[in-house]
Amino acid sequence: MEINKISFIGTGVMGSSMARHLKNAGFDVSVYNRTKAKAQPLIDEGMKWCDTPAEAAKNADVVISIVGYPKDVEEVFLGDKGILSTKEGGIVIDMTTSSPALAKKIYEAAKAKGVSSLDAPVSGGDLGAKNGTLAIMVGGDEEAFNTAKPVFEAMGKTINFFGPAGSGQYTKMANQIAIASGMLGVAEALFYAKKMGLDPQKVLETIETGAAGSWSLSNLGRRMLKEDYAPGFYIKHFIKDMRIAIESAEEAGLELPGLLKTKELYDILSQKGMDDNGTQAIIKWYLNQ
Q: Cite the active site residues.
A: 172
Contacts of 274 (CB under 8 A, 6+ apart): 229, 235, 281, 284
Query: How many angstroms separate the CA atoms of 146 and 162, rounded?
Result: 12
DSSP 8-state class, residue 219? I
Query: Is residue 167 a contact partner of residue 129, using CB atoms and an 8 Å limit?
Result: no
Amino acid at 254: L
Q: What is the DSSP string of 229-256?
A: ---SSBHHHHHHHHHHHHHHHHHTT---
Q: What is the DSSP string of 11-79?
A: -STTHHHHHHHHHHTT-EEEEE-SSHHHHHHHHHTTPEE-SSHHHHHHT-SEEEE--SSHHHHHHHHHS
Nearest to 170 by CA among 121, 135, 124, 133: 121
Neighbouring C-beta atoms of residue 158, cutoff 10 Å: 14
